[in-house]
């Protein structure tokens, strides 16, 4: 029996925006993707990031002097309800993922913050400046915190048929996920002469307990684990190998200038600085401040991203657009520097 041949899939390139990447925010660009795959992958990753990421949070507390969330704490400005809401704002990085305890004791007139909490050695408090309460002259606050790990949202786990707990514990509902917000956009991108491929832009915001890069890896692992169980056949189609071989073959074959949209364009011009375009001082400085130094960097940008540059408005955009047009260039050309270097190298070999 002959083995069936499958068509390869486009393998996307992934890149994080290093200018904005930090502990709480990251923007990932994946391109090019097969037509329609931008929404498919973007929605799957977003839903998994929002609901499938593990984290740690305070699930119950014992506050000395009270036994329910509707009480008042002597000498404390905030009532128990406000105090509990402030406790829910504590951000915890759990290095081992196991349950833990924390303790707080403060006395006298003061502002009580997360920094005043003493936690188990594997629990790290990410937002030490977060305010929990304000104490008066005769105020005293003694709290024991119980930390657990989980996924998504968990309602308060009160013992059945018991309004008050024997140890005075107050149970809290908890949001374990370190993800605060996830958004994605899908744009069209160019591959050679084809313009219907997808470009996925994924923006991840966290509470600082985990980095956006690690959270993306976690979400991909969750999806991969779940999808593996949907394989009904004994053998998986090796698309990774098929696509890798095809991509290697594409790189090794001669690069067509017409496919890249560079017919009649000076390749040397693309590698030159944007000074060659003779732009106005305002537009020129805005591009340099955004680290767009070469014409190649400029043509790989799209209009929407350029308009996000500080002080770069529609007037500057139209100026640059018309200038590029005079050289046979445009925005969003998605040209690889390696392709240009190969063509120039090939020309040099032919002339020598």
How far apart, in Å, do the first and last CA atoms of the chain sit? 51
3-state secondary structure 77-96: CCEHHHHHHHHCCCCEEECC
What pLDDT shows up at residue 300? 85
Fold of 13-53+179-252: Gyrase A; domain 2 (3.30.1360)
Fold of 267-351: DNA polymerase; domain 1 (1.10.150)
Rounded distance between C-alpha atoms, residue 60 and residue 79, angstroms? 17
**Residue 91 tokens, joined:** 């951000």
> Residue 80 — very low, low, confident or very high, per pLDDT cuts 50/70/90?
very high
* 260 pLDDT more than 60: no
> Residue 255 — very low, low, confident or very high, per pLDDT cuts 50/70/90?
very low
What pLDDT shows up at residue 71? 87
- Non-local CB neighbours of 342 within 8 Å, separated by 6+ positions: 255
Fold of 54-175: RNA Polymerase Alpha Subunit; Chain A, domain 2 (2.170.120)
What pLDDT shows up at residue 164? 66
Residue 206: in which H helix or E strand, if any? Answer: strand 194-206
* 105 pLDDT more than 60: yes
Q: List Cα–Cα distances, 90 to 15, 99, 125, 141, 261, in angstroms.
A: 32, 16, 7, 17, 53
* 230 pLDDT more than 90: no
Mean pLDDT of the chain: 85
Region 261-270: what's the mean pLDDT?
66
9-59: per-residue pLDDT in tens?
A: 888 888 888 888 899 999 999 988 999 999 999 999 999 999 999 999 999
| Local structure of residue 114 (DSSP, 8 states) | G
Q: Break the chain into its structural domains and give their ranges.
A: 13-53+179-252, 54-175, 267-351
* 192 pLDDT more than 90: no
Helices and strands in the chain: count of H runs, count of E runs: 10, 15
* 214 pLDDT more than 80: yes
Instruction: Identify the residue whose tokens are 């390696």.
Output: 338
Rounded distance between C-alpha atoms, residue 111 and residue 138, angstroms? 13
pTM: 0.68
291-312: per-residue pLDDT in tens?
A: 888 888 888 888 888 888 888 8
253 vs 329, which has greater pLDDT? 329
* 341 pLDDT more than 90: no
Rounded distance between C-alpha atoms, residue 270 and residue 220, angstroms? 36
Rounded distance between C-alpha atoms, residue 27 and residue 12, angstroms? 16
| Local structure of residue 294 (DSSP, 8 states) | B
106-142: per-residue pLDDT in tens?
A: 999 999 999 999 999 999 999 999 999 999 988 999 9
Rounded distance between C-alpha atoms, residue 166 and residue 322, angstroms? 76
- Percent above pLDDT 90 for the chain: 44
What pLDDT shows up at residue 1? 38
Rounded distance between C-alpha atoms, residue 84 and residue 124, angstroms? 20
239 vs 209, which has greater pLDDT? 209
């Amino acid at each position: 029996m002959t083995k069936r041949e499958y068509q390869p899939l486009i393998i996307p390139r992934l890149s994080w925006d290093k200018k904005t990447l930090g502990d709480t925010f990251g923007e990932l660009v994946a391109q090019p993707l097969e037509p329609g795959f931008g929404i498919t992958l973007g929605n799957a990753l977003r839903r998994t990031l929002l609901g499938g990421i593990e984290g740690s949070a305070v699930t119950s507390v014992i506050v000395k002097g009270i036994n329910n969330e509707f009480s008042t704490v002597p000498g404390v400005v905030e009532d128990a309800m406000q105090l509990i809401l402030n406790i829910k704002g504590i951000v915890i990085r759990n290095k081992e993922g196991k349950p833990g305890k924390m303790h707080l004791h403060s006395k006298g007139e003061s502002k009580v913050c997360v920094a005043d909490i003493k936690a188990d050695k594997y629990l790290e408090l990410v937002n030490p400046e977060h305010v929990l309460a304000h104490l008066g002259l005769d105020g005293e606050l003694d709290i024991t915190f119980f930390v657990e790990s989980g996924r998504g949202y968990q309602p308060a786990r009160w013992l059945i048929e018991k309004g008050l707990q024997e140890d005075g514990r107050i149970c809290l509902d908890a949001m374990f996920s370190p993800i605060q917000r996830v958004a994605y956009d899908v744009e069209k991108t160019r591959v050679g002469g084809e313009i219907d491929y997808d470009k996925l832009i994924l923006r991840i915001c966290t509470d600082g307990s985990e980095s956006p890069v690690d959270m993306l890896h976690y979400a991909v692992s969750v999806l991969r684990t779940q999808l593996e169980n949907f394989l009904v056949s004994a053998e998986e189609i090796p698309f990774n190998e098929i696509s890798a071989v095809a991509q290697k073959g594409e790189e090794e074959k001669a690069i067509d200038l017409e496919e890249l949209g560079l017919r009649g364009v000076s390749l040397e011009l693309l590698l030159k600085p944007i000074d060659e375009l003779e732009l106005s001082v305002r537009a020129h400085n805005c591009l340099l401040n955004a680290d767009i130094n070469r014409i190649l960097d400029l043509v790989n940008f799209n209009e929407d991203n350029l308009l996000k540059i500080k002080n770069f408005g529609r007037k500057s955009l139209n100026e640059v657009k018309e200038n590029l047009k005079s050289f046979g260039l445009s925005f969003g050309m998605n040209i690889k520097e390696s392709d240009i270097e190969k063509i120039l190298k090939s020309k040099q070999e032919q002339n020598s």
